[in-house]
Amino acid sequence: MHKSIVLLPGDGIGPEVVESAKCILDAVASACDHSFDYATHAIGGAAIDQFNDPLPQETEAACKQADAVLLGAVGGPKWDQNPSHLRPEKGLLRIRKSLGLYANLRPVQGFPELLHASPLKYDVVNGSDLLIVRELTGGLYFGEPSERRDNGESVVDTLAYTREEMERIIETGFDAAMVRKKHLTSVDKANVLESSKMWREIVEEKAKDYPEVTVEHVLVDAAAMKLITNPTQFDVMVTENMFGDILSDEASVLTGSLGMLPSASLRKDGFGLYEPAHGSAPDIAGQGIANPLATMLSAAMLLRYSFDMDHEAQLIEQAVANTLSAGYHTADLHVKNGTKLGTKEITEKVIDFIEEESASD
Ligand code: NAD
Ligand code: IPM
Ligand code: MN
């Protein structure tokens, strides 16, 4: 099959991990007789430096033409003082909105070899396997007005949602639960926020369409605590944009590192942008030590969700698992007695396993 993929490397470690994931996609293409062509475009700080715009028009147009998009990360200290329309993060928010990518899926699955790499106790983490379904194009991130007032002495951000925006992401949560363990945890702050009260009403309405799914409501503060004290109680967690942002970084601790958490940002027709949950990690950028596994696993999600290539996705996931069980890891993973590798070296190991697996198919 022939497919075109737009690569948006972005800033910091973004280009390093996207290059790794591209090599992995190439290995899969040659093992399975596909051809992928790639077009690389600027986003974030790199695009500000080159075009004075965190999302240049040609980048946006290329994404709209592509079969799928793979993004690294944006942001860094160089642009932190910029006005908000010239911040790297604005480019990411604009592309999500412009492509209509309202559903962000963040699977949190521990690899057995990394259970000891988490700062949490083995018995707490063992058996955890959950999916965070995060609303991605509404809420506080996009509400208007958002501005300083009174000569900078006061400020307003707006948390706004329409019923339709809530319904479609809540449905995504239920649909995801139906193909997993049929348990949905809806996370809100309904004891305080009007938006959460409406959210909870909609979850209750939708629950009637999914009688097989058990539903529970958990307030976000308690959810944050339960996620690291008893994570095995969760299957699918569905929540609004900012709660999902915060909870997913927290959940990455279960996997041993933020560098392990992939994500898919989807719209209803299956079109998607795939990105690791982590950021541009300016503290380690350019050193060749970034963990590329989250981006590789995001590429696996790309194959599964956008190209319907489940076998190929599994090839990547299995190769990552094999790499870890062979004792290879990156510096962010606190594995005892393993072999610590850089970004390129661990990528080569994953490629070896892809070739080995496909030769034995
Ligand atoms: P971050 O996720 O970049 O880094 C947090 C910590 O995790 C750092 O210590 C970093 O070294 C480590 N880390 C993250 N990914 C890693 C990987 N793949 N391998 C090894 N270690 C990894 O978060 P931050 O430091 O709060 O933010 C840095 C910049 O990234 C900011 O400008 C922020 O806006 C941006 N950001 C972008 C995205 C995105 O593009 N999707 C996501 C989050 C943050
Ligand atoms: C993420 C990031 C982004 C978000 C930032 C960079 C805008 O933290 O993808 O999780 O908050 O959505
Ligand atoms: Mn985040």
* pLDDT tens figures, 147-167: 999 999 999 999 999 999 999
Of 54, 35, 41, residue with least CA distance to 15: 41
**pLDDT-wise least confident of 109-113, 234-238, 283-287:** 109-113
d(CA 227, CA 49) in angstroms, rounded, equals 39
Is residue 222 marked as binding? no
Q: What is the mean pLDDT of residues 94-118?
A: 95
Instruction: Give the ligand 1 atom nearest the CA of 73.
Output: 40
Q: How far apart are CA 128 and CA 143, in angstroms?
A: 34
The answer to whether the annotation marks 107 as part of a ligand binding site is: no
Among residues 3, 245, 305, 332, the one annotated as catalytic is 245
Is residue 9 in contact with ligand 1, taking CB distance under 6 Å? Answer: no
* Whether 107 contacts 254, CB under 8 Å: no
Indicate the residue type of 15.
Answer: P
Q: Which residues surround ligand 3, an ion (CB under 5 A)?
A: 245
Q: Tell me how far apart the alpha carbons of residues 35 and 20 are, in angstroms, rounded to a whole number.
A: 17
If you average pLDDT over residues 282-299, what whole number do you get?
A: 98
Question: In this predicted model, what pLDDT tens digit does every residue of 232-276 receive, in sequence order?
Answer: 999 999 999 999 999 999 999 999 999 999 999 999 999 999 999
Spatial neighbors of 235 by CB under 8 A, at least 6 apart, are 129, 130, 131, 177, 180, 181, 182, 183, 184, 185
At residue 227, the pLDDT reads 98
Q: Which of 3, 90, 189, 349 is catalytic?
A: 189
Q: Which ligand is nearest to the CA of 89?
A: 2
Q: What angle do CA 41, 14, 43 make, to 5 degrees?
A: 35
Provide the 10 A C-beta neighbour count for residue 25: 24
Catalytic residue among 11, 53, 102, 141: 141
Please indicate whether residue 245 is annotated as part of the active site.
yes
Sole residue written with tokens 């590798």: 341
pTM for this model (two decimals) = 0.98
d(CA 22, CA 74): 18
- CB of 171 closer than 6 A to ligand 2? no
Q: Is 291 in the pocket of ligand 1 (CB under 6 A)?
A: yes
49 has catalytic annotation? no
C-beta of 92 in contact with ligand 2 (< 6 A): yes
Tell me what pLDDT residue 360 has. 85
CA distance 223 to 26: 40
Does ligand 2 come within 6 angstroms of the Cβ of 89? yes
Picking from 238, 253, 110, the residue whose alpha carbon sits closest to that of residue 170 is: 238
What per-residue confidence (pLDDT) applies to 133? 99
User: Confidence class of residue 351 from pLDDT cuts 50, 70 and 90?
Assistant: very high
C-alpha of residue 14 to centroid of ligand 2, in Å: 13
The answer to whether 287 is annotated as binding is: yes
Q: Is 199 labelled a binding residue? A: no
* The pLDDT value given to residue 361: 76
Query: Residue range 59-67: average pLDDT?
Result: 98
**Percent share of the chain, pLDDT over 90:** 98
Cα 93 to middle of ligand 2, angstroms: 8
pLDDT at residue 332 greater than cutoff 90: yes
Cβ atoms of residues 138 and 240 within 8 Å = yes
Q: Tell me if residue 53 is catalytic.
A: no
Q: Is the pLDDT of residue 322 over 80?
A: yes
CA dist 314 and 132 (Å) reads 20
Asked whether the predicted pLDDT for residue 320 surpasses 80, the reply is yes
Task: Give the mean pLDDT of 121-146.
Answer: 97
Instruction: Answer yes or no: is pLDDT of 90 > 90.
Output: yes
Q: Which domains are assigned to the chain?
A: 1-107+258-361 (3.40.718.10), 119-255 (3.40.718.10)
pLDDT of amino acid 313: 98
Q: Give the whole-number percent of the chain exceeding pLDDT 70.
A: 100
